[in-house]
Amino acid sequence: MSTYQKFTERMQKIADISHASALLQWDQEVYMPPKSARRRAQQLSTLAGMAHEMFTNDETGKLLESLAATNLSEIEKANVLNAKDEYEKNKKVPTEFVEKTSVAVSRAFQSWDKAKKAKDFSIFAPDLEALLELKLQECEYLGYEDHPYNAQLDIYEKNMTVAKLEVMFGQVKEQLFPFIEKIYKAPQVSDELMFQDYDRDKQWAYGIEFLQQMGYDMDAGRQDVSSHPFTTNFSATDVRVTTRINDQDLSEMLWSTIHEGGHALYEQGLKDDYYGLPTGSYLTLGIHESQSRLWENNVGRSLNFWQGNFGRLQEIFPKQLSKYTAEDFFKAMNKVQPSPIRTNADELTYHFHILIRYEIEKELFERKLQVKDLKEKWNAMYKKYLNWEVKDDAEGVLQDIHWSHGSFGYFPTYSIGSFYAAQFYHQAVQDVHGLETGIQAKDSSKLLQWLREKIHQHGKLYTADELCKRVTGEVLNFDYFMQYAVQKYATIYAL
């Protein structure tokens, strides 16, 4: 067996363990009986420790070292360099620390869940504080330049820094904020049609139909229900989505399904031959999110798409929708308004939800802000950026699951993803003849093919900057999003 083969085998075994973990987590969200929470947390901690231990074992180091000296193909080189980088990063963190963090996460998740139900941040605060301390310690293990938060950002979005985000969110504030202000002053659109009685079973069936129309392969995945929709995968041949269904609000199922579908298409489009290797896994969370947002917003919230699809929806819900047109539906789904819940926000104010979390996290990692003051800070920020009076902790500081998972530095990838999505979609329209007329005719296969070819299949072969340049000729540029927003919302709000 060649050294490269040995390396591949080792990486695949580590992937096997991580994917087993992912199944345990999936099950925890969708089917696990309540009494087994404690044992499941323990099992997850053990697997996290084992994957970390195996990856950071000297054996991996030796393989990587001897591979550095050999002649490798471009793809092999990308696998080795990426793995080496991850290895060095992981090596800095002791296995016991990983296990300890896993246990702290399970504990924090449980108290967050309890706190949210009780609408009482104080139930969650002590566990969050403990978890934050671990994450701050993790920054020291990992090392960073300029800002400790950079160490966290880099986990989800390689090479992302506070300095870059200051520029990006600066543009959001300078350009998006005044644009939204203009919208607020324009005559409002109605979204009433979304809030009617929509049968759950029919919604469920339509979600599946929708996924299949997008090109999602039901033989290499499945859909289930969970309270927080998510996508997970245990290989490119088993990529699962979950959705949630609200029988009084059609939009929850619709956009969670198309959003998760976008993530899932990316994972199904990775090369199964590179299972366990960097080129067989997603590039960054921002790129991952670009795929979900592209489908959710650029496709799923476009007039074009619904001109082709609204008829089917009317067929399923005649009583609710027959008196409306595709244009009414399009306007309803794009109503811009301040709101307390990030996941329900329109695609413009959405970025202020992210900005708030970004600024809070940055201050937490500067130790400028303490957990005990988090709630007040949150409420003040919602007042400042969204002019929203937070009514309780459940709609306020407790709304997101992320911090209970120990995920700090994750939120910015949502905005990054939306901005990438606008840039990619703009390029796709240029590159692919008949792309939008196809979508209008319920055929998005050309778009999927373009995404597969340009983005999905490469995994981590390039950096995000390189990929973006290869696909669009330049690195991430916020202008595409603003252009898209101005053009789209000018028609909706007759600006």
Minimum gap (Å) between residue 204 Cβ and a second copy: 16
Q: Which is nearer to a second copy, 21 or 444 (CB)?
A: 21
Rounded to whole angstroms, how far apart are CA atoms 259 and 14? 28
Q: Which is nearer to a second copy, 42 or 196 (CB)?
A: 42
Q: Which of 64, 67, 149, 135 is nearest to 105 (CA)?
A: 135
Q: Which is nearer to a second copy, 13 or 119 (CB)?
A: 13
Minimum gap (Å) between residue 11 Cβ and a second copy: 12
DSSP string, 338-390: --S-GGGS-TTTHHHHHHHHHHHHHHHHTTSS-GGGHHHHHHHHHHHHH----
User: Rounded to the nearest 10 degrees, what angle do helices 162-171 and 412-431 cross at?
Assistant: 70
Minimum gap (Å) between residue 127 Cβ and a second copy: 21
Cβ(6)–Cβ(64) under 8 Å?
no
| Distance of alpha carbon 374 from the chain centroid | 24
Cβ(133)–Cβ(84) under 8 Å?
no
Minimum gap (Å) between residue 449 Cβ and a second copy: 20
Catalytic residue among 157, 260, 267, 289: 260
Binding site for a second copy (CB under 8 A): 12-13, 16-17, 19-21, 23-24, 27, 31-36, 38-40, 42-43, 45-47, 50, 217-222, 234-235, 237-238, 272, 275
223 DSSP β-pair partners: 241
Q: Which of 215, 303, 293 is nearest to 256 (CA)?
A: 293
Which letter does DSSP use for residue 336 in this model?
-
Q: 25 is written with which tokens?
A: 């987590």
Order across the sheet with 223-225: list the strands.
Answer: 223-225, 238-243, 231-235
Minimum gap (Å) between residue 40 Cβ and a second copy: 7
Q: Which is nearer to a second copy, 47 or 455 (CB)?
A: 47
224 DSSP β-pair partners: 242
260 is catalytic: yes
Q: Which is nearer to a second copy, 17 or 485 (CB)?
A: 17
Rounded to whole angstroms, how far apart are CA atoms 313 and 324? 11
Q: Which is nearer to a second copy, 99 or 296 (CB)?
A: 99
Rounded to whole angstroms, how far apart are CA atoms 451 and 269? 9
Cβ(308)–Cβ(442) under 8 Å?
yes
Q: Which is nearer to a second copy, 199 or 238 (CB)?
A: 238
Minimum gap (Å) between residue 104 Cβ and a second copy: 17
SS3 for 112?
Answer: helix
Minimum gap (Å) between residue 12 Cβ and a second copy: 7
Rounded to whole angstroms, how far apart are CA atoms 219 and 303? 31
Catalytic residues: 260
